[in-house]
A and B are shown apart, each in its own frame.
Chain A
Amino acid sequence: MTSSFLPGYLDRKENLADLPKVTDVAIIGGGLLGTALAYYLSKFGIEVTLLERSDLNREASGTNAGSFHFQIALHQLTKNLTESEEKRLSDEVKLQLDAAILWDTLEKELDADLGVHFTGGFMVAETEEELKVLRDKQSIENKAGLETHVLTGDEMRSFAPYLAPDLSGIAYCPREGHANPLLVGPTYAFRAMELGAKIRTNCEVLKIEPLDNASPYRFKLKTSRGDISCNRLVNAGGAWTAELSAQLGIKHPMGLSGLHVNVTEPHEFFLKSMVQHIGRRLTLKQTPNNTFIIGGGWPSRTENYPRRYSNYWASAAGNVAVAVRVLPILKDVRLLRVWSGVWAYTKDFKPILGESEKVPGYHVAMVPTGFTLGPMVARTLAEYMHSPANKNIIPKEFSVDR
């Protein structure tokens, strides 16, 4: 692998340079989706300008835990596994598998160290009921083509001796892993710039104005750094996607939730695989810096932008209790810091992806498990924008107007 790529080489002068007056594609948002899209579009030779109101990768894409979620997790489950639910989960697993294939080769594609490691992932169960869920989901996963195993008793204890010995069972997915979320987006941006994309930071899009047919351009964007007109517009605004679309009268079935994350001091490395819980909110992994990152969906306090979501100490106390229950050795490790990020999800858990039929030229790129799936959905959208005639590149359920 090439040596660690330092996003410090991003060109501040270039990022702060004047906006071009016009562009073919304008992207709003410099998170993982926006930067990846800028890269894939530039690769097709399409003219792109990306507008980010602060610095790149400072919101969800720079605050997430960097885990690849390939096996079915707690947040995807409904109470009852009906047949239609099984179909939905199976579709989601297939999407996740496609993402896995992209991650396999991403470091090579971008010629940079992104901290990608496929180290396997555990999903633990404490009760017999939870163990049953593990077995049900295993059968859906295996049918969809994802390899997972369920282990119990002595087999479980010898496979993962550091986990609490009295767990009812664990699922293991060898495909899972993680990458460094602080590197992926900025690296995409850097490579996009090499291919000619214009990246502008400290540039907030204040207003989207559709232009009439007389104009050679479809949209005019009023920004904190002047106006820019474009043929095609992509909203990759993460948690602010719905706010931006509302300006054009488009509503999205989205919700926001502040997520709590804990990080500990370093500890001698032993935990190769990520650990999740099928019945409680937990994701847990040891990083290459030997610290533990503990999260899993505990809440944090909503605040208004630009203030960062603040934390509830109770989320720390509850979240680490689940972690200590599953991995008892953690009780003697110190918590250094917590943080939070705003997570945007869709109510049906599907991406919002593609071009609006109501407002031609207007595109949206938004996906809930966005670190895992972001690069892939960005690439899919770029393929569509490269050959818009090819409508079925993007599944109908992802429709922007739904």
Chain B
Amino acid sequence: MKRIYRQLTALALGTMLASQAWAFGGFNLDLNKIISAGKNLSEASKEISEPEEISIGEGMASVLLGAAPLLKNDAIQTYINQVGRYLSLQTERPDLPWHFGVLDSVSVNAFATPGGHIFVTSGLLKKMHSEAELAGVLSHEIAHVLRKHHLAAMKKAGGMGFLTDVASIAVDQKGGGGYAGKELSKNLISGMKEILVRGLDKDDEYEADRMGIVIATRSGYDPYGLPAVLQTLDGLSGTSDVSLLFSTHPAPASRLDTLSGLMQSKFDHYQGQSVSDRFRRLVPNGGNN
């Protein structure tokens, strides 16, 4: 626990620094807000700011891209951004800087990082049959961002002192403490990896399933896209390609059981599109099992 806490503290500090290292979005941290949070404990227990959230997410996205690069297919990368951005417009956070990417990996998985970075592996994409299935998976990941599930996992692991430490580190930064050197950045990175490897709260995964189905349905897709992918994943259990996915999520069969009653009573009267033609043009070997 102590080790994780230290990593998370480093993660928070690194996030400050990351705003320079990964400053593509052109945002700035609101240091004054963090400093005042440090002066007031009840304030400090509030959520961290959106720019911080985005900054943490950019760092985690960069780590993920260090594990597997983007698939070298510009048409697919543009396509997933179009589908994902459209889905994000049907949510309560349409103005986050949403970014979507297909990772070049045989592993079957999808990831989100705070503030709007969403990833699907090419291995998972090839198992899908339609745009509605892709929309279902993206919507599940979008829900993790909407509900700040990763930040909740960090808070849970880091304890109540986490945010006050963020604040005090921010003060140091403002005072010209500067970059603490390579050791820090190593700690920062391992803190991010810790969250990626440990996964999220199981209840948050079920919540993301429920919300994901709603977001896809709102967008006009077949509500059963996500359940169809879960059915495919269930059929892959026992293979090595799904080992990380299975260790970080409830079993697909449990997720399907949980959705079963909900789908029948709530979603059967919605007509949605599966949009399989253009999906198959872009992912010609889709549906491979």
Whether chain B is bound by chain A comes out as no
